[in-house]
Structure 1
């Protein structure tokens, strides 16, 4: 039961941070207005593969980074919570990464933008990086590690479906609908950020007091 609860929390957390509907709106804003269905499908596939590869890189090398810089798990949890809190405030305010994207358009083909900037850093940014490391450090056995990987892969697949059908979703929801979804995801991310911060501070206080 506890494993299922952890899996559910991880899945919801990843979904809220990735915010596929909000990201799809940003992606459409930096891609060509007359992009074809075939191209958007290719971009969705490449971007999804990019974030999955990035996930496994962080999952495998995250602990090494912590040890290399001498960063404690609890300190990372507090800092990660602050990063997520800032991200949540940005989502709730309604400002997005697309503010500076007008100049991103260049002679590059749309498909070349699938990895950078859509995959990294727009979709897979600091928020996901810290969250993955925090969740990895909470893993106690191989089953929990499997559920963590499964939770992310499911969200990567959902992200793929949303981005692939982003043109239709944009027409159905409209700008207002997309903003509402992003704000709701921001509230969830904010609540999780507070939880990370409080939990990290409690553990740090037990260590130093």
Structure 2
């Protein structure tokens, strides 16, 4: 079955929760399945290597995950209105994929989480879309036909799924956030399926 790669970095768990909801949406589309992957943290001390596998959660991404996917959904916490360094570090290493065009024509989407209501959710999502455009991917968002976009009092944008943790840093998603995350996963999977679903 064709995979939709859900690739994310999560520091405190809320981005991982969004990723699992997006995966549920992908899996709702007949003939499609979600593949959850994460990126290792980065550190200023470059001689310290990350363990070969994370202690829990999704395994680390490999180049083959990108080559084999029928679509890509990127997730990151918000860092000053931008994606977190570990995800950016990984994206910056994709020169060979860019040169070969291995992601061209595949649908793509993004998601994020932030601690403050105006902490840069939308600018983070938009900044995450830029490298996907350079890779020739087909950008997918959440249309306003999804009624929760007009009623949510927490996360959720037309640019992608999002979560507002609040000042206490809650990783519990609101019902609107869960619905919108599943809708995003479903939409990318449906588009990939219509495009043929081949890697």
Asked whether the two chains share a fold, i.e. TM above 0.5, the reply is no
Q: Which has the higher relative contact order, 1 or 2, with Cα contacts under 8 A spaced 6 or more apart?
A: 1
Q: Specify which structure has the higher proportion of strand.
A: 2
Q: Specify which structure has the higher proportion of helix.
A: 1
- The higher radius of gyration belongs to 1
TM-score (norm 2): 0.25
TM-score (norm 1): 0.24
